[in-house]
Structure 1
Amino acid sequence: MADPYATLGVARGASEADIKKAYRKLAKELHPDRNRDNPKAAERFSQVTQAYDLLTDKDKRARFDRGEIDADGNPTSPFGFGGGAGGPGGGGFRSGGSQFDFGGGGDSGDLGDIFEGLFGFGGGRGQSSGGGFRSGYGNSGFGKRQQPKGANTAYRLSVPFEDAAALRPQRITLSDGKTIDLKLPAGVEDGTQMRLTGKGQPGPGGNGDGIVTIEIQPHKFYTRDGDNIRLDLPVTLKEAVLGGKVRVPTVDGAVMLTIPAGSSSGKILRLKERGFHKKGGGRGDQLVTLMLEIPANDAGLKQFVENWTGDIRNPRTGLGV
């Protein structure tokens, strides 16, 4: 994969918020559902997701910036090949066009001891019967490096609002046609990413991973407010004036809610622990806003109000009018 910063179009010093913003923009443009006739877009989408995955992992990003791993997350070299310390004035040496860095610039120690550790000088399996150095990878162990894994595969999973709040398992179909049930994490939100180890593309060092990005579907009457869920609940004039118990929907099923007598439209009632599951444990609440509904053409109600003299106050005095 190319440089992850270039892939996302951000500077090396970009903040996590800038990286997330760039990823969301590109993911929206390149999503396979919007580019069914463009296979290159799907490939680019996978690259963008892999770049995002690396740069939002603080440890991997730091190691990449130091040149310890490449854009695929694989070690650049078991001995620091390609570094600058073995150049002029450095503590390394060159052989066959590659640079071996032993941390020059300070006390380099005894290079003979280092070579002995690497190549087996001075006895053991790296020495022939005549005491000389025996070449070849099999005896010295030199040249061995970790094989790269396959590329990660990007998935997007659309989750119903109620399922996300209640953490109901979601079934996802992988690129190989197999399906698995995915357990959503507490604190899940739109854009949350989950890693499926070994569910990516095959490679010499094993399979890459599957990276699942969660998209929470909007709901027709619930809205999310942090870990809380908000609901506008229509009530009749009689229910607001006299109070009583009414059935209220929640993501876990309907419950009974007590409306206090004399409730005004806009009053907020709380159903505890009926919201989203929190990362640190527990759940948010469901906040129910009462919305008074008055019938449009009720002659009896109209006559009652016209003849009613019980309420002569001005409820707008607090607004200065």
Structure 2
Amino acid sequence: MEYKDYYKILGLPRDATQDQIKSAYRKLARKYHPDVSKEPQAEQRFKEVNEANEVLKDPDKRAAYDALGNNWHAGQDFRPPPGGAGGFDGFKREFNAEDIDQFSDFFASVFGSGFRRERPQPRQRGMDQNTRIQISLEDAHQGTTKKIRIDEPRQRPDVGGVPNSRTLNVRIPAGVTQGQQIRLAGQGSPGSGGNGDLFLEVDFAPHPIYRAEGKDIHLNLPIAPWEAALGATVPIPTLGGTVSLRIPPGSQSNQRLRLKGRGLPGKTAGDAFVQLEIVNPSADSDKAQKAYRKLAEHFGDFNPRAKLGV
């Protein structure tokens, strides 16, 4: 193992003061910083400078290092005495996992034989959580704020008791679709490395007149026989309010008309699709029955089942 002469790395005598150490470190750190330095092997030199400063700025570590003696020279093969330099194994507990790879094997051998093996456990991010939220199509169209309750899982499932719960006010953006997930960063289960995320799956409540497919909205529209035959302009409901729709003359049941951009909003808004349904008036009076008889006489040759061959 190569001996590291920390004084030589910083360009200092062994009796350098703390102010001299600080000044030399700052100067060399600027010179070899990998983000700005054009020097050859800048990253390696930067690590060596940091390691030297880590030892010499701390009186206890410096004393342990100086206890090795001043007859060593950089590049010489070094074999640490048993137990490290004067029993300084306690230093190994001062560093976290991110620090370990920044220092050399020489540093590890001096300040604790178990330094590299005793890496602390990495910090664990909390678990993500998933839940569903039911909203109306009107809420999906306009956007809304909903209050939800989240039950926190118990740390030990074998222990009885009611799990902790918390409530959140969740903003539902306009234009969400069935099955879409909304991510709430940091609202999942807690962990030593930060909270997980909470994912809300959007579920549409059944609607009495509308049906959603993606961002498109579908509606069955009842019309009178004369509106279908002669054409008409009729009012229809949409999620954005009532609008007028022109029924072309000669329209038939199950014919579908499209209202562009009248579905759920978004960068590309959905459409509203209207399926026509011809509804006949009831023949529940003599006057109504007489009208139907006249209609039958007028269209006596009309056979609605002609396509069936009967």
TM-score by length of 1: 0.53
Q: Go from structure 1 to structure 2 and tell me whether the alpha carbon gap of 1:158 and 1:122 turns closer, same or farther (over 3 Å shift).
A: closer
Q: Go from structure 1 to structure 2 and tell me whether the alpha carbon gap of 1:121 and 1:208 turns closer, same or farther (over 3 Å shift).
A: closer
Q: Go from structure 1 to structure 2 and tell me whether the alpha carbon gap of 1:254 and 1:284 turns closer, same or farther (over 3 Å shift).
A: same
Q: CA deviation at 1:201?
A: 2.7
1:179 and 2:155 correspond? no
Which sections of structure 1, spanning at least 5 residues, go unmatched?
1-116
Residue 237 of structure 2 corresponds to which residue in structure 1?
A: 249
- Partners of 1:173 and 1:219 in 2: how far apart? 22
Q: Which has the higher contact order (CA 8 A, sep 6+)?
A: 2
RMSD: 3.4
Matched position secondary structure for 2:217: strand
Amino acid aligned to 2:169: I
Q: Deviations over 1:173-196 (max 9, x none)?
A: 354644324233756223x22221
1:213 and 2:193 correspond? no
Q: CA deviation at 1:320?
A: 3.1
1:287 and 2:273 correspond? yes
- Partners of 1:221 and 1:270 in 2: how far apart? 16
Total equivalences in the alignment: 202
Residue 158 of structure 1 corresponds to which residue in structure 2?
A: 134
Q: CA deviation at 1:145?
A: 5.3
Residue 182 of structure 2 corresponds to which residue in structure 1?
A: 194
Q: Go from structure 1 to structure 2 and tell me whether the alpha carbon gap of 1:187 and 1:173 turns closer, same or farther (over 3 Å shift).
A: closer
Q: Deviations over 1:154-205 (max 9, x none)?
A: 33211112322x1513323354644324233756223x22221111232222
Task: Note if contact 1:267-1:290 (Cα within 8 Å) is conserved in structure 2.
Answer: yes
1:138 and 2:94 correspond? yes
Q: Go from structure 1 to structure 2 and tell me whether the alpha carbon gap of 1:298 and 1:119 turns closer, same or farther (over 3 Å shift).
A: farther
- Partners of 2:144 and 2:245 in 1: how far apart? 28
Task: Note if contact 1:157-1:172 (Cα within 8 Å) is conserved in structure 2.
Answer: no
Q: Which stretch of structure 1 is more off in the superposition, 302-311 or 283-292?
A: 302-311
- Partners of 2:206 and 2:184 in 1: how far apart? 25
- Partners of 1:118 and 1:237 in 2: how far apart? 87
Output aligned runs, 1:242-321, within 5 Å: 242-277=230-265, 281-296=267-282, 297-308=284-295, 309-311=297-299, 312-321=301-310
Amino acid aligned to 1:306: R
Q: Percent identity?
A: 28
Q: Deviations over 1:61-100 (max 9, x none)?
A: xxxxxxxxxxxxxxxxxxxxxxxxxxxxxxxxxxxxxxxx
Task: Note if contact 2:148-2:170 (Cα within 8 Å) is conserved in structure 1.
Answer: no
| Structure with max Cα Rg | 2
Task: Note if contact 1:170-1:183 (Cα within 8 Å) is conserved in structure 2.
Answer: yes
Task: Note if contact 1:125-1:139 (Cα within 8 Å) is conserved in structure 2.
Answer: no
Q: Go from structure 1 to structure 2 and tell me whether the alpha carbon gap of 1:185 and 1:241 turns closer, same or farther (over 3 Å shift).
A: closer
Matched position secondary structure for 2:253: coil
Q: CA deviation at 1:149?
A: 2.5
Matched position secondary structure for 1:249: strand
Amino acid aligned to 2:123: Q
- Partners of 2:95 and 2:293 in 1: how far apart? 103
Q: Go from structure 1 to structure 2 and tell me whether the alpha carbon gap of 1:298 and 1:285 turns closer, same or farther (over 3 Å shift).
A: farther
TM-score by length of 2: 0.54
- Partners of 2:185 and 2:247 in 1: how far apart? 49
Q: Which stretch of structure 1 is more off in the superposition, 176-185 or 261-270?
A: 176-185
Q: Deviations over 1:197-228 (max 9, x none)?
A: 11123222222222212211121111123432
- Partners of 2:253 and 2:51 in 1: how far apart? 90
